Amino acid sequence: MERNIPNNVNFSVLTPEQIQKIHRASVTVLSEFGVKMDSARMREELQAAGAQICEGDIVKVPEQLINKCLETVPKGVSLYSRDGEEIIKVGAENNIYFGAIIDVVNVLDHHTNKVRKMYREDVKNFAVLEDYLDSISYTTPAGMFNGVDPRIASQIAFLDTCRYFTKAQSIVTAECAGFEDCLHAAQDFVGGKDKLAEKPFIMYYAEPISPFMHVDESVKRIIVCAENGIPITYMPYSMMGGTAPVTPVGALIQNNADVLMGLVMSQVIKPGASFIYGSMPTVFDMKTTVGSYAAPEFHMCVAASADLADYYGVPFYGSHCLSDAKTIDAQSVAEFEMTMMSTMMSKANLVHDGPFLDHANNITLVGLLLFDEMFYQTKAYVNGVDTSDEMIDQMLQTIKNVGPGGHYLEERSTLKNFKKIWYPKRFKRLMQNPDESDLMDRLIAEVDHILETHVPKPPTPEQEEVLASYEAEFMSRYQ
Amino acid sequence: MDILEMIANDIVEGEMDEVADHVQEALDTGTEPKTVLDDGMLKGMNTVGELFKEGEMFVPEVLMSAKTMEEGMEILKPLLKEGDVTKAGVIVMATVKGDLHDIGKKLVCMMLEGAGFEVHDLGVDVTPEEICEAIKEKSPDIVGMSAMLTTTMLSMQDTASMIRQDDAIKDIKIMIGGAPANPDVATEMGANYSADASSAVDLAVSLVA
């Protein structure tokens, strides 16, 4: 089977030798230095599986156990739409899918290009627009919007996403308890725990605290997911020079060791549990102390991490359309493009986050349309060059037909192939461009039009009843 | 779908293999040749023009439609009476002296033909003298000049002055185009500017109106 987005540009950051070196170093960290493990249950499980516990809560994992877990971890992951259709299938073809965000604390108002607080009605707008765009396969309700008690905001964001977004969800919650609320609602939504495990339309996310702190809260998430058949992404966010060594290789060794620790935990709890490799080794900006979302070294290291995940045969959670700028401006669009290009060329499979502005402090509807444009643009780039014998023969014949000084406009091969070339939907290539750009006006109008006209397929009345009853219960908790 | 609609559709879809049969069928069933032309083929070409402007059709498809039109005309031409075909106009086209770039000018020629113009393409690297000569010989409504280089823009200016100084042809309408051309340069040489092939056709139509 061909990859869903053919990638023929042979891009890797790391050579096989470099991958081996980083892998060996990560194994040294885990087996000789150890990591901090808060969870007593996990320490017991790991010890029973062959790990060594020292100084109370430090766990050292022998290479043998790492290798054993790498054998049982699934080499792919499937996710389903809200209505049970397999829409994400990562396996031997190394398919790639893009996700988006439903809510954060602030929203960049698409009419004014100014930041304001995000509210529940914004959640709906993001869900509707993301449902509309074919380039987006899943989204992330995060529960950071305002106006609802933060202890249930993730749950409400999840319920609203079920209402207005028909594809898959990668849930983010502040605490595991919030996820368990969503999990139970999702199980009832599809008709039970087994049905959800068979065709999960949700996945979850956990991260260690860098460096090497596998806190109880994160470990609990791995356990809940393994026991309920829900795929989990384990993704350290570390900052070079702050919470990771300052060099790319140091950060890669550390993050890789922490991800392998997560992988071992998931497989010790349940061999064959679905696991996704995530890694965000970014730059700690020594001028501003910001953990940059758009540093080139960050995205190079994310692509390098995708090479490592590919080496282990585990799906990789990438990042796209990230910026440190607050609004849609020259900086943010340049940073979106770089991150998009890097991830599209890389071996990432599930690409999350974008479009994120102001180092993940705000999101924007207009940014989703820019992402959509860049998605098709970079997809065309990675398609590479078709040098099949059939194509070479066809081209030689065409070149011979036309001869020196001729033109190809009326050649059959032109007519047959010209539509394989990508044409922008929103960017312009006019012979005479207007003196002032009208791109933003057109993007705003397009957002408004989609929000006015696109009606996502609603859940069934029975499913809506499930959502409504959970909503009533969540809302009653903190009144 | 009646037969005239089918012919119009053949033109839009570039169905070169089918248009001749459909034209023949229309004639065999008693449709007047002029009706076949006006309500079948030209109607199709009008649709092509609209779809191209809307961005729904692309250049190679427009050219395929023009070729399909030619196929149909092969059958129709001998049967049309004088006055049945209204020529949109006559135009002499050239890439000016010193310039060997052909594709833009050729594209304009093909689009003009598709719009019903009689086009005399003099080729590339054509001297001012040759262009003036051709104008005298073909008596066109318009002369169109193309240049790709800033240096050959000077040839364009030389040609325009030569035309304007020759009493026999000095009133002819001039169109220019190409990468270094712009409306200001055109005005300076008493010419008309269009930015691309599609607007060149619009300009030509407006100049002969």
A305 and A413 part of one domain? no
Within 72-111 of A, beta carbons closer than 8 Å to B belong to none
Last residue of a domain, one of A420, A441, A470: A420
Q: How far apart are CA A295 and CA A302, in angstroms?
A: 11
Q: How confident is the model at residue A472 (pLDDT cuts 50, 70, 90)?
A: very high
Is the predicted pLDDT of residue A478 greater than 90, yes or no?
A: no
- Alpha helix locations (H) across A229-269? 248-269
Residue-level pLDDT at B114: 84
pLDDT in tens, A257-303: 999 999 999 999 999 999 999 999 999 999 999 999 999 999 999 99
pLDDT in tens, A29-50: 999 999 999 999 999 999 999 9
Across the range A48-66, mean pLDDT stands at 97
Q: How far apart are CA B105 and CA B126, in angstroms?
A: 12
Residues in chain B with CB shorter than 8 Å from the CB of A422 are none
Across the range A301-320, mean pLDDT stands at 98
Q: In what order do the strands lie in the sheet with A362-363?
A: A114-117, A106-109, A362-363, A356-357
Is the predicted pLDDT of residue A78 greater than 90, yes or no?
A: yes
Q: How confident is the model at residue A25 (pLDDT cuts 50, 70, 90)?
A: very high
A294 and A396 part of one domain? no
ipTM above 0.85, yes or no: no
Residues A178/A205, Cβ–Cβ less than 8 Å: no
Is A66 inside any structural domain?
no
Is A468 inside any structural domain?
no
Residue-level pLDDT at A431: 87
Top residue of A415, A423, A428, A430 to mutate, by most chain B CBs within 10 Å, is A415
Across the range A330-337, mean pLDDT stands at 98
Residues A304/A252, Cβ–Cβ less than 8 Å: yes
Identify which of B61, B102, B195 has the shortest CB distance to residue A407.
B102
Name the burial class of residue B136, with classes exposed (0-12), middle (13-18) and buried (19+) by CB atoms within 10 angstroms of its CB: exposed
A321 and A411 part of one domain? no
Residues in chain B with CB shorter than 8 Å from the CB of A405 are 100, 102
Residues in chain B with CB shorter than 8 Å from the CB of A415 are 14, 60-61, 64
A256 and A397 part of one domain? no
A266 and A407 part of one domain? no
User: How is residue B39 written in tokens?
Assistant: 């309500």
Name the burial class of residue B149, with classes exposed (0-12), middle (13-18) and buried (19+) by CB atoms within 10 angstroms of its CB: middle
Q: Domains in chain B, start-ordered, CATH in brackets? A: 3-79 (1.10.1240.10), 89-208 (3.40.50.280)
Is the predicted pLDDT of residue A345 greater than 90, yes or no?
A: yes
Is A335 inside any structural domain?
yes
**Domains in chain A, number:** 2
Last residue of a domain, one of A363, A382, A401: A382
CB count within 10 Å of CB B28 equals 9
A156 and A237 part of one domain? yes
Q: Do A431 and B61 touch (CB under 8 A)?
A: no
Contacts of A147-151 with CB under 8 Å at 24 or more apart are A147/A119, A147/A120, A148/A120, A149/A477, A149/A478, A150/A174, A151/A178, A151/A477, A151/A478
Is A344 inside any structural domain?
yes
Across the range A181-209, mean pLDDT stands at 97
A365 and A402 part of one domain? no
More confident residue, A256 or B111: A256
pLDDT in tens, B4-13: 999 999 999 9
Q: How confident is the model at residue A354 (pLDDT cuts 50, 70, 90)?
A: confident
A160 and A206 part of one domain? yes
Across the range A440-453, mean pLDDT stands at 98
Q: Do B58 and A418 touch (CB under 8 A)?
A: yes
Residues B65/B114, Cβ–Cβ less than 8 Å: yes
A145 φ, ψ to 5°? -70, 165
- Residue A178: strand, helix, or coil: helix
Identify which of A409, A431, A432 has the shortest CB distance to residue B59.
A409
Tell me the shortest Cα–Cα distance from A145 to chain B, in angstroms. Answer: 41
Q: How far apart are CA A127 and CA A455, in angstroms?
A: 11
A395 and A290 part of one domain? no
A311 and A404 part of one domain? no
A310 and A397 part of one domain? no
A378 and A400 part of one domain? no
- Check if A431 contacts B (Cβ < 8 Å): yes
pLDDT in tens, A94-122: 999 999 999 999 999 999 999 999 999 99
Rounded to two decimals, the pTM is 0.91
> Please, what is the Cα angle at A179 between A192 and A80, to 5 degrees?
50
Q: Do A409 and B107 touch (CB under 8 A)?
A: yes
Q: Do A409 and B60 touch (CB under 8 A)?
A: yes
Last residue of a domain, one of A420, A441, A473: A420
How, if at all, do strands A168-170 and A52-54 pair?
unpaired
Q: Do B59 and A419 touch (CB under 8 A)?
A: no
Identify which of A405, A410, A431 has the shortest CB distance to residue B63.
A410
pLDDT in tens, A393-432: 999 999 999 999 999 998 989 998 999 999 999 999 988 8
Q: What percent of chain A has pLDDT over 90?
A: 95
CATH of the domain at A353: 3.20.20.480
Residue A397's domain comprises: 389-420
Identify which of B100, B106, B196 has the shortest CB distance to residue A407.
B106
Residues in chain B with CB shorter than 8 Å from the CB of A414 are 60
C-alpha closest to that of A421 among B104, B111, B110, B58: B58
pLDDT along chain B (209 residues), means of 10: 94 94 95 94 92 90 91 91 86 96 91 91 96 97 95 94 96 95 94 93 95
